[in-house]
Copies of this chain bind each other. A is one copy, B any other.
Amino acid sequence: MTAPTDPNEDQPLRPLLARIWRDYLSHHRGALFLSMLCAALAGGLSALTLKLLEPAINGLFLQQNAPMKLWGFIDIAPGQALVVIPLTIVAVAVVWTLSSLGQAALVNRLGHGIVGDIQVRLFGAMIRADLARLRSQHSGAFVSSVLFDANLVREAFTNGVVNYTQHSLTLLFVILSMVFIDWRLTLIVLLGVPLISLVMRRFSRRTKKATTGAMRETETLSTALMENLDGVRLIKIENREAAEEARVGEVVARRQRHVIKSADSRAFAGPFSNLVAMIVVAAVMAYAGWRAQAGDMSVGAFAAFIGLLMAAGQSLRQVTNLQTVMTEGLTAARRLFAALDIEPEIREAADA
């Protein structure tokens, strides 16, 4: 297998990832695996809590005095359900909270530790570079790469990777729990996913295009303002204040059209995905009600299925967001490594 060669990238992906692993992540292997373990635990427990809704609702509202089982192996004596089930929910939630806190604390220490590492190395590389190179680069650009790029790399390779683990495992466990409740219904719902993701992708493409347009017009406006302020003496001498105001008014109006388009497409995504969610809930409700007539689905199973479905949607959104975070992180890593690879000045060259 060869590394993918994207014409837009100036460096292949595989060696870049290998270098990030070798120089930074591998030094913190223990913390990284421990935080991924916490993430996996949190993902599994989310699905477990929602799955608990099925016996909880059935046990508390339908067969109150029958003996029941939690997750198929914990027996609950008749009449105890009212106390045992809520306490089980709280106990699972406490473990979930502890593993989430552990994950966050580990990821923060790991990630910001790597940022500090990069920052000191960058400074070292910069201060040892030769003066000609130092003069050719604006010091503001250097400070921005030390502060901003290092954080983008952290975001992608610690937060990103660990969150990805958590949400893909949540997604896996949630879908397994859904299959366990009703595999036919799960199959129907899963068939709808490509359709929804197609619509969402078109939305995000439109948003991206509109946002790019808005940014370009903002730059035009900012240039127009700067030019006018720099040439204000001439404008005053020639009495052109009103004319310049009208010209800036036009630039403002053109920018506004782009900004509104961009704001619209961002604001519209929420209501549309909510509509899709409600249609799915209604369809699942109709199917579940129909199966319930034959006694094949309980109300607890329905409630658990809806809860799992919502959790799946949320995790799916997080997993798809990761792509943006990773792209930004990789671009920042390329810039950073280019700065780190500056050859140190050769001290003795002048005396040779």
What is A's interface to B at a CB cutoff of 8 Å? 49, 56-57, 60-62, 64, 81-83, 85-87, 89-90, 92-94, 96-97, 100-101, 104-105, 107-109, 112-113, 115-116, 119-120, 123-124, 126-128, 131, 134, 139, 142-143, 146-147, 218, 221-222, 225-226, 228-230, 232-233, 235-236, 241, 244-245, 248-249, 252-253, 255-256, 259-260, 263-264, 267-268, 270-272, 274-275, 278-279, 281-283, 285-286, 288-290, 292-293, 298-299, 302-303, 345
9 residue pairs bridging A and B, Cβ less than 8 Å apart: A57-B303, A60-B288, A86-B283, A89-B278, A97-B275, A108-B263, A120-B248, A127-B232, A146-B225
Q: Binding site of A, secondary structure by majority: helix, strand, loop or mixed? A: helix
Q: Which chain B positions have C-beta within 8 A of A90?
A: 278-279, 282
3 pairs of A and B residues whose beta carbons are closest in the complex: A60-B289, A93-B278, A104-B267
Q: Which chain B positions have C-beta within 8 A of A83?
A: 286
Task: State in angstroms the CA–CA spacing of A226 and B87 once bound together.
Answer: 57
The minimal Cβ–Cβ distance linking A145 to chain B, given in whole angstroms, is 10
* Inter-subunit contact B134/A229 (CB<8 Å): yes
Q: Which chain B positions have C-beta within 8 A of A253?
A: 116
Q: Which chain B positions have C-beta within 8 A of A82?
A: 286, 289-290, 293
Q: Determine the residue in chain B with the shortest Cβ distance to A144.
A: B222
Task: State in angstroms the CA–CA spacing of A278 and B53 once bound together.
Answer: 12
